[in-house]
Structure 1
Amino acid sequence: MNVFDYPALGSAPHPSYSGGWSPFSQFVGISSLFAALLSPRLFDSLKLVLLGTLIEGGRRLFSWLVERFTFRYSMSAQFVQGDPAYEWIFHFLIQEEVWRKSRDFHVSARSSQRRWGVKTPAGSELVKDNAEYVPVYGEPHLFRWKGYWIEIKKSRDQMGSFPPPQFGGPNPVGSISLTFFTLKMSVLSEFVEETRQRYVESNRPRVVIHSADSVRKNMRFGPPGAQWQNVKTKFRRPLSTLVLEEGMVDSLLSDAREFLKMENWYVEAGIPHRRGYLLHGPPGTGKTSTIHAIAGELGLEIYTLSLASGHIDDGFLQTVTSNVPPHSILLIEDIDCAFPSRDDADEEESSDNLGMFPGGRQYIPGIPGANGRVTLSGLLNVIDGIGSEDGRLFFATTNHVDRLDPALLRPGRIDMKIQYKLASKAQTQALFMRFFPETRFTDDDLNAKNVAIAELACEFAAAIPEDEFSTADLQGYLLGYKSSPQLAATNVSNWIRHERAERAAKKKREREREEKKKKAKEKSAFDMHNRAGEAMAAGFGSMLQRNLGEKNNNHFHPALPPLLPVNGLGLGTVATTAPPQPPPSPPAESENLKSK
């Protein structure tokens, strides 16, 4: 049968169909096809497809137009966390309440560490301001500033996050992107300058302290400045609260002010615009407090690091110090803890502390962060090397100035050395008057009360020995008598006796500990020398036996005497007994030889 004999698909069999070709059946099939093509359902489907195509095309066209408009008629700026400008921008956005409609927050307990939380509305008296509410800045926001529209986006960079932060890797570094819908560059510069001025003005009552103590989490990953993410704020300390020798703070403050004002003079004279200060003296005499007060008085931020940290080496030290901005303070506390002076270097190297750094720190090869590797050369390059930053104040503190290398103390690196001493009579009296001012008392006869306090201050100062206690020691004692000046002056003699007894006991314990360490060190050296001597003697004896055995053709092997120790060092020597002689020849043979 021919395939054309079958009826068209979808057509009903006709009564006249007898197995041959029928034009009517073909007409019915074509008409059914046209009916399907002209079906309303097909037209509805085509409409939906066309509508979706138009919507997607319009969306892409709109995105393209927005991108072209943004590229041609706007400019953008990015601010990275760790850079001071990032702090300016963030502070401005918090003040303007740009994220006031945020509904997602990170809640953390309030502390001195800055977290940029939003202001919470005042609630009931039972609700205390003990927590910070930091919005999750996920969505972009649009705000208006001086007639210009600005779009802000905050992102958190995850690049370089291996290993993860909990295993010592870097923390994600945040960034802020601003898009200004204008082509005027002056708008961007004015905006940044206004944010800086607001930031400085709001921080006048406080001192901002940047710390590099958490560098293990950041290391050298991320953009510049990422190592200074640990930021804290403290209230300013008035200069009047410093109990120091007269004129000490004034001279230091005037020198710092003159340095900051004379930048142009340094440039014209061809002198590096740097200034270094070394504050040295016993602990508790006010070295760090002086730096805190000067930073608050000059409105400078403090960038502090410790060279004793095990994860800081020369490369990292150069990296973090290069990111300290001008008009700020770089502080290195206890600078003597990093390395010994050159005079002590030979003694340290000749000691038996194998595998130890000076100061007792252990060196573990192949494990970065297990030891500190700051060298004197690396520190000197940071202070006044070709790559050191200009326009900043460098402060260093130490309790033992005699341990510092002379190269560190030369002019150009340390320009001023200020010595702090133990409390004098005048300092003791001033400290007592500061603890018990006239405003603390509400008696009617203020004059008589002031006279009494002045007399108590003199009595207190007379009881304190000169140059024996620090101001921190005296302050700790007075804190126990905040409201009882009479008792403070009366009981000070008992406190002095108690302190002297404790110090004597402490010195005795330290002396005993040092003696034990010395004996253990001598015993260790003695044992080590004995082992070395025994090894040398054994080698010498075996060599001597081999030599004697080779020279004896009669295979005579005399037994060597035992090796005796000399001077207790185990260096073996041969005993003084005469070596055995070979047996004499028989007499008969000797007579025959004579006759011959």
Structure 2
Amino acid sequence: MLYVLLHIGQTIYRYLKMIVPEALATLGDNQLFGAGFGLFTLGVAASVLRKGSAVALQLLRRRLMTTLEIPVSDHSYHWVLEWIAHRPDMSCHFSVKTAFQKLHSGKISTGFAFVPSPGSHYMWLGKLSFSANQHIPYETVTLTTIGRKKEVFEDLLLQARTFALQRQKNMTLIFKPMGAEWRQFGEPQRSRPFQSVMLAAGQSEKLWNDVTQFLHSQQWYIDRGIPHRRGYLLHGPPGCGKTSFITALAGELECSICILNIGDWTLSDDRLLHFMVSAPPQSIILLEDVDAAFLDRSSEVQDPRRQGMNMVSLSGILNALDGVVSSEGRIVFMTTNYIDRLDKALLRPGRVDVKELVTYADAEQMCRAFRHFYPTENTEHAEVFSSNLSKFTEKVSMAQIQAFFMLHRTDPKYASENVNEISKY
């Protein structure tokens, strides 16, 4: 009811603002107002009425209504938009977001997601009515309701968060830096099963135990005055499962992944520190190919397109990892194919607490991989495959094995007897 009264008041105000000048112009030709006294009186009255209605409307808003503004940089922004779009009582004013998904048959399925379009939307939460306004280009959502209790907004935000997290269950969110903030990159990805990544025997379990112990030991760190953060370095030849393991680990922990390319020529020390500190909660920060940040930086000949661009320095990376303003409760994973190119200062404890060599597949990994791709086959075929492949080469990555299995996924006997074809990948 109050929204209706406010709307009527705003309409009357705009109507008076439009017709009063015309009425005054008409009265100005009347002889009774020729002396100007009547015209002056009406002018003053109209001005007082306009200003009075505007002040009354503003006072009414301040005294009887509460407004919450959610900027796009806040994590609740996307939660609230998604929650509003799926409420049955929301006004029918949407923007469409078309998505494509590949089906098991190989065909492409088209889906349509509806999000609130810029403008005003009205809804109910219990016995309270809300007005939601999405503003462009500043990208903010403003929620307005009757009353002075801020608790109603907390309830709304909790409902929006629960709804969004339920929809993201078994999905992994990827974030990348855009401008001065983290933005979700692409659609949520289906979480990869942890057992689908086959590192050396016991290696996955060792890393899993270390990460979970860290996550549950915050008070232990506080009691001993140790910064609550943990750094991991996975090194080894390409294609052996470093990034795949991190992706699977994030899915198992229900964490998002924040990818930072420190080799980017547009990234400076200050921006790197800002992104490390402002990473979304419950996320893993991933620095891939960390050695690439220090290649060819000493060259006197520089690309003219990169002149004036800042670059990340070694000291900038060290400060971001364990400087004074480094964030707490943070997990950082770094990957590299060439650990010998990294400075010893980067590898010391406190910056890199756990180093793991992820190298070529051994015989046990080959057997596990075979049984994973051909679960109905007996153990003998897996052992034959492992034995033949070990005789053929000592350096085969899990990526090569996976590509070979995918090509012969319907013929495990052929795969076990023709391992020489793996060299093609």
Residue 333 of structure 1: how far off its partner (Å): 0.5
Alignment partner, residue 138 of structure 1:
118
Alignment partner, residue 19 of structure 2:
none
> Given residue 385 of structure 1, which amino acid in structure 2 is its aligned partner?
G
Alignment partner, residue 463 of structure 1:
388
> Any conservation in 2 of the 1:275–1:414 contact (CA below 8 Å)?
yes
Distance 2:31 2:401 in 1: 102
Distance 2:388 2:90 in 1: 60
Alignment partner, residue 381 of structure 1:
319
Q: Does 1:244 align with 2:244?
A: no
Residues 290 and 412 of structure 1, relative CA distance in 2, 3 Å threshold: same
Residues 106 and 196 of structure 1, relative CA distance in 2, 3 Å threshold: closer
Q: Does 1:355 align with 2:301?
A: yes
> Any conservation in 2 of the 1:204–1:296 contact (CA below 8 Å)?
no
Q: Does 1:277 align with 2:223?
A: no
Residues 317-328 of structure 1 aligned to structure 2 (within 5 Å): 317-328=272-283
Secondary structure of residue in 1 paired with 2:173: strand
Q: Does 1:481 align with 2:408?
A: yes
Residues 537-552 of structure 1 aligned to structure 2 (within 5 Å): none
Residues 311 and 140 of structure 1, relative CA distance in 2, 3 Å threshold: same
Residues 366 and 339 of structure 1, relative CA distance in 2, 3 Å threshold: closer
Distance 1:132 1:461 in 2: 46
Secondary structure of residue in 2 paired with 1:422: coil
Residues 65 and 437 of structure 1, relative CA distance in 2, 3 Å threshold: farther
Q: Does 1:79 align with 2:79?
A: no
Residue 273 of structure 1: how far off its partner (Å): 1.2
Secondary structure of residue in 2 paired with 1:149: strand
Alignment partner, residue 143 of structure 2:
178
Residues 314 and 111 of structure 1, relative CA distance in 2, 3 Å threshold: farther
Structure with the bigger RCO (C-alpha within 8 Å, sep 6+) is 2
Q: Does 1:190 align with 2:141?
A: no
> Given residue 242 of structure 1, which amino acid in structure 2 is its aligned partner?
V
> Given residue 92 of structure 2, which amino acid in structure 1 is its aligned partner?
K
Residue 95 of structure 1: how far off its partner (Å): 2.9
Distance 1:94 1:106 in 2: 11
Where do 5+ consecutive residues of structure 1 fail to align? 1-35, 39-45, 113-126, 158-172, 357-361, 439-449, 503-596
Residue 237 of structure 1: how far off its partner (Å): 1.0
1:444-487 deviation digits (Å, cap 9, x = unpaired): xxxxxx43xx2211111111126410000111111111111111
Alignment partner, residue 416 of structure 1:
354
Q: Does 1:401 align with 2:391?
A: no
Residue 285 of structure 1: how far off its partner (Å): 0.9
> Any conservation in 2 of the 1:99–1:135 contact (CA below 8 Å)?
no
Distance 1:334 1:82 in 2: 28
> Given residue 271 of structure 2, which amino acid in structure 1 is its aligned partner?
F
Residue 64 of structure 1: how far off its partner (Å): 4.0
Distance 1:414 1:491 in 2: 41
Residues 315 and 97 of structure 1, relative CA distance in 2, 3 Å threshold: farther
Alignment partner, residue 199 of structure 1:
164
Distance 1:128 1:339 in 2: 42
Secondary structure of residue in 2 paired with 1:461: helix
Secondary structure of residue in 2 paired with 1:338: helix
Distance 2:101 2:54 in 1: 44
Residues 91 and 261 of structure 1, relative CA distance in 2, 3 Å threshold: farther
1:521-564 deviation digits (Å, cap 9, x = unpaired): xxxxxxxxxxxxxxxxxxxxxxxxxxxxxxxxxxxxxxxxxxxx
> Given residue 355 of structure 2, which amino acid in structure 1 is its aligned partner?
K
Secondary structure of residue in 2 paired with 1:272: coil
Residues 71 and 201 of structure 1, relative CA distance in 2, 3 Å threshold: same
Residue 276 of structure 1: how far off its partner (Å): 0.8
Alignment partner, residue 101 of structure 1:
92
Q: Which has the larger radius of gyration?
A: 1
Work out which of the residue numbers 63, 80, 85 in structure 2 matches 1:89: 80
1:215-247 deviation digits (Å, cap 9, x = unpaired): 4xx3x4xxxx3x425353110111121112222
1:13-60 deviation digits (Å, cap 9, x = unpaired): xxxxxxxxxxxxxxxxxxxxxxx979xxxxxxx9xxx9xx98x98887
Residues 178 and 315 of structure 1, relative CA distance in 2, 3 Å threshold: same
> Any conservation in 2 of the 1:260–1:327 contact (CA below 8 Å)?
no
Residues 491 and 57 of structure 1, relative CA distance in 2, 3 Å threshold: farther
> Any conservation in 1 of the 2:81–2:115 contact (CA below 8 Å)?
no
Distance 2:52 2:204 in 1: 67
> Any conservation in 2 of the 1:82–1:229 contact (CA below 8 Å)?
no
Secondary structure of residue in 1 paired with 2:312: coil
Alignment partner, residue 543 of structure 1:
none
Residues 119-158 of structure 1 aligned to structure 2 (within 5 Å): 129-135=109-115, 137-157=117-137
Residue 431 of structure 1: how far off its partner (Å): 0.7
Residue 314 of structure 1: how far off its partner (Å): 1.3
TM-score, structure 1 as length reference: 0.59
1:324-352 deviation digits (Å, cap 9, x = unpaired): 13322111111010015xxxx9xx85xxx
TM-score, structure 2 as length reference: 0.80
Distance 1:297 1:458 in 2: 30
Distance 2:319 2:168 in 1: 32
Residues 332-343 of structure 1 aligned to structure 2 (within 5 Å): 332-339=287-294
> Given residue 191 of structure 2, which amino acid in structure 1 is its aligned partner?
R
1:86-108 deviation digits (Å, cap 9, x = unpaired): 222223223325656126x4554
Residues 251 and 147 of structure 1, relative CA distance in 2, 3 Å threshold: farther
Q: Does 1:392 align with 2:338?
A: no
Distance 1:194 1:135 in 2: 17
Alignment partner, residue 233 of structure 1:
188
Alignment partner, residue 217 of structure 2:
262
Alignment partner, residue 300 of structure 1:
255
> Any conservation in 2 of the 1:355–1:364 contact (CA below 8 Å)?
no
Secondary structure of residue in 2 paired with 1:76: strand
> Any conservation in 2 of the 1:421–1:467 contact (CA below 8 Å)?
no
Residues 407 and 430 of structure 1, relative CA distance in 2, 3 Å threshold: same
Residue 200 of structure 1: how far off its partner (Å): 2.3
Structure 1 segments (4+ residues) deviating >6 Å:
56-60
Secondary structure of residue in 1 paired with 2:239: coil
> Given residue 68 of structure 1, which amino acid in structure 2 is its aligned partner?
L
Residue 62 of structure 1: how far off its partner (Å): 5.7
Larger deviation, residues 67-76 vs 399-408? 67-76
> Given residue 456 of structure 1, which amino acid in structure 2 is its aligned partner?
H
Residues 287 and 74 of structure 1, relative CA distance in 2, 3 Å threshold: same
Distance 1:337 1:436 in 2: 38
Q: Does 1:209 align with 2:189?
A: no
Q: Does 1:472 align with 2:418?
A: no
Distance 1:179 1:432 in 2: 59
Secondary structure of residue in 2 paired with 1:141: strand
Distance 1:484 1:241 in 2: 20
> Any conservation in 2 of the 1:305–1:333 contact (CA below 8 Å)?
yes
Residues 84 and 140 of structure 1, relative CA distance in 2, 3 Å threshold: same
> Given residue 154 of structure 1, which amino acid in structure 2 is its aligned partner?
Q
Higher share of residues assigned strand: 2
